């Protein structure tokens, strides 16, 4: 966890790289709203096309808000395809997001729709924190509306002492050094808490059997709660 430019809580290996999985939706939201593909929290409404999906909540029409809340993969993939690789890479470079590698799975030319899903794009917890610090400080040269709408769709709840929680989970598979997906689960929960002008950013990642984003989120909120005054 980081506050006013200083790390105030750190555990484990924060330099290890992992796929961002659905925690990348924070970056995708900024891209979508800045490019004008996304309009506000309820528009555009993109229809579910009947493709097989792993979760019932994904098998329905989605708005930007439900896309984030339901962590819907296909909505992300429509967004990146509408954006195109050149613009997609431009934003990832601007955000200095992890290793910035959008090549996707080796030999499959699927980076536009798969690079952040246990594939080529990798990021460390410390890099997540740097990215989030720049988001909160609005340092990227993108529209005010992109920041505003992203903040809106990321809002989760108000914690004790009136701290507002913004964040996104991510779930996927750990990879070997050659990029091969393993059977080891990973889970992310990243975001920030804000009260007035005070902000603390955080990035939590876990790995192991049964680990996923919601589990990491629950543990992270417990730890965050203990740090609040």
**Which residues are tagged catalytic?**
22
Torsion (CA) 198, 141, 30, 19 in degrees, nearest 10:
-90
**Helices 85-94 and 73-83: angle between axes, nearest 10 degrees:** 100
Start-to-end CA span in the chain (Å): 15
Evaluate whether 121 touches 102 at the Cβ level (below 8 Å).
yes
Cα(184)–Cα(210) distance, integer angstroms: 9
**CA angle at 128 for the pair 123 and 131, rounded to the nearest 5°:** 115
């Amino acid at each position: 966890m980081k506050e006013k430019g200083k790390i105030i809580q750190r555990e484990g290996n924060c330099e290890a790289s992992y796929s961002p999985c659905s925690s990348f939706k924070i970056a995708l939201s900024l891209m979508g709203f800045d490019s004008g593909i996304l309009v506000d929290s309820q528009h555009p409404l993109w229809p579910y096309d009947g493709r097989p999906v792993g979760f019932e909540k994904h098998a329905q029409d989605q708005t930007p808000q439900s896309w984030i809340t339901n962590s819907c993969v296909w909505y992300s993939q429509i967004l990146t395809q509408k954006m195109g690789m050149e613009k997609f890479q431009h934003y990832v470079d601007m955000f200095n997001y992890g290793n910035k590698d959008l090549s996707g799975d080796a030999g499959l030319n699927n980076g536009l729709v798969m690079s952040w899903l246990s594939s080529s794009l990798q990021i460390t917890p410390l890099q997540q924190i740097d990215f989030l610090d720049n988001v909160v400080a609005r340092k990227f040269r993108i529209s005010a509306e992109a920041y505003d709408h992203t903040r809106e769709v990321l809002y989760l709840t108000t914690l004790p002492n009136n701290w507002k929680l913004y964040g996104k989970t991510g779930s996927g598979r750990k990879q070997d050094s050659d990029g091969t997906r393993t059977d080891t689960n990973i889970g992310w929960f990243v975001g920030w808490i804000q009260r007035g002008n005070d902000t603390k950013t955080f990035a939590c990642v876990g790995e192991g059997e049964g680990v996923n984003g919601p589990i990491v989120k629950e543990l992270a909120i417990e730890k965050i709660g203990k740090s609040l005054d």
